[in-house]
Amino acid sequence: MRTQVGIIGAGPAGLLLSHLLHLRGISSVVLEKRSRAHVERRVRAGVLEQGTVDTLVEAGVGERLLREGLPHHGIELRYAGTSHRIPFEKLVPGRRITVYGQQEVVKDLIAARLAAGGDVRFEVEDVALHDLETDRPCLTFGGARLDCDVIAGCDGFHGVSRPSIPEGVLSVHEREYPFAWLGILARVAPSSEELVYTRSERGFALHSMRTPEISRFYLQVPAGARVEEWPDERIWAELKARLESVPGFTLATGEITEKGVTPMRAFVAEPMQHGRLYLAGDAAHIVPPTGAKGLNLAVADVRVLTDALAAYFEHGSSGPLDGYSRACLRRVWRAQHFSWWMTTLLHTFDDDDAYARRLQLSHLDYVTSSEAAATTLAENYVGMP
C-alpha cells in the first residue's frame, strides 16, 4: 500500500489532519489502535478556543458544533468568599470559547472522513515506524506495510511515534504537579451559565458543562488518588464545600455517570520532528488542563502541518516543513506558561505557608481588579491569534 501521509492516531489531531489534507488534494491513511466506539466515547477536553471553532467550521465539520455547542463570553473566578467575572466580550471583542466535548469533535471528524471515502483503520495492532531518515519512510502493522512520503505522529503521549525517534535527538522538558484532578460527568443541568474556577483552602474546583443537561466537574485531589476512594456522596459534599462559597449559589446534584482521575503534568519534547516524522498534539506536548489548552494546541499544530505539507506536495517547497517545529513551539510554550500560571494561581500546594497563600490571593485580587491583568487572562484563554 502507498499514501502520501501516513497518520498514526485517530484522535482530533490525526483525524483533522487527514481531513484538511483531503481538502487540499493530499492522500492519507489513518491508523488507530483502539476501536471506533472507544475513540468516540473517550471523554476529554470540552473547551474550544475561537481559532479551533473557526478551523472546524472552515473545514466543513462545524455544523453540529454551531448547533449544539455552548458559546461562552466569560468565566467566573471564585476565591475568599467573592465572585468575579472575566468578561471576554469586553476584554477581547469578537472572541469567545465554545463548550463542545472532544468526543463530539471526534464523531464529527470520523463521519466526515468516512463520507469522503477516507481511509481510517481502527483496531490496528503492532504499528511500527521505519526509515524515518530517508525519503521513503514506511509504517508496518498487522503484517501489512504502508509506504509514505511523510509520517505524522498524532498518537498521544503514550503512543509509538515519539519513542521511535532515536535517543538523544529530543530535548524533553517536564514537570509533575503534587496533585491530580478528579473529573466527573453528571446528569444534572449546570448550576452556572459559565465556567466557574474556584480557589479554596480545601483545594481547587471547577464547574463546567457539556450540554444543557450534562455537567462536568473537577476536584483537586492528592496525587495518586484512586477513584474508589471517592464515592458519589463524598464527591458532591466536597464540590459543595468548595463551590458554594458565595452568597446565593446552590450546587445542583444528580446522577454521576462517569468519573476518573487525571495526573497533572507538563511535558514538551523538542524538536517536534525528525527526518520524515512530524509530531502533533499530545505526542509532542502535554499541559495541565487548568488552561484548557490540550485539544486547542493539537488543532494549532495540525493547521501549521497542513500548510507545510501543502507547500511540499503542491510546490516542492520544504522550507515550511523544515520550520514546522519552530513555528509550533512558540505557541506551545505560550500555552505552557499560561497553563502553569492558571494552575499555580488556583490550586493549593502541600508546602504552602501563610506567605505563599497571601501572595496567591494578592495575585487573584490583581487579576480581578486590573483590566490589563484580566485582559491577559482573557486573550490567553480564548486563544492567541
Q: Distance between CA atoms of 312 and 327, rounded to whole angstroms?
A: 16
Cis peptide, bond prior to residue 271, ω within 30 of zero: yes
The grid cell for 256 is 454521576
Q: Distance between CA atoms of 343 and 24, rounded to whole angstroms?
A: 39
Q: 2: which DSSP letter?
A: B
Concatenating the DSSP letter of every residue in 264-288 gives EEEEEEESSEETTEEE-GGGTEE--
Q: Distance between CA atoms of 331 and 333, rounded to whole angstroms?
A: 6
Non-local (6+) Cβ contacts of 376 within 8 A are none
- 3-state SS, residue 205: strand
Q: Distance between CA atoms of 385 and 377, rounded to whole angstroms?
A: 14
What is the set of active-site residues?
72, 197, 289, 293, 381
CB-side exposure of 210: number of CA atoms within 13 Å? 22
The grid cell for 209 is 458543562
Other C-beta atoms closer than 10 Å to the C-beta of 170 total 17
Ramachandran angles phi, psi of 269, nearest 5°: -110, 125
Other C-beta atoms closer than 10 Å to the C-beta of 136 total 10
Q: Distance between CA atoms of 30 and 42, rounded to whole angstroms?
A: 18
Concatenating the DSSP letter of every residue in 38-106 gives HHHH-----EE-HHHHHHHHHTT--HHHHHH-EEESEEEEEETTEEEEEEHHHHSTT--EEE--HHHHH
- 3-state SS, residue 156: coil
- 3-state SS, residue 159: coil
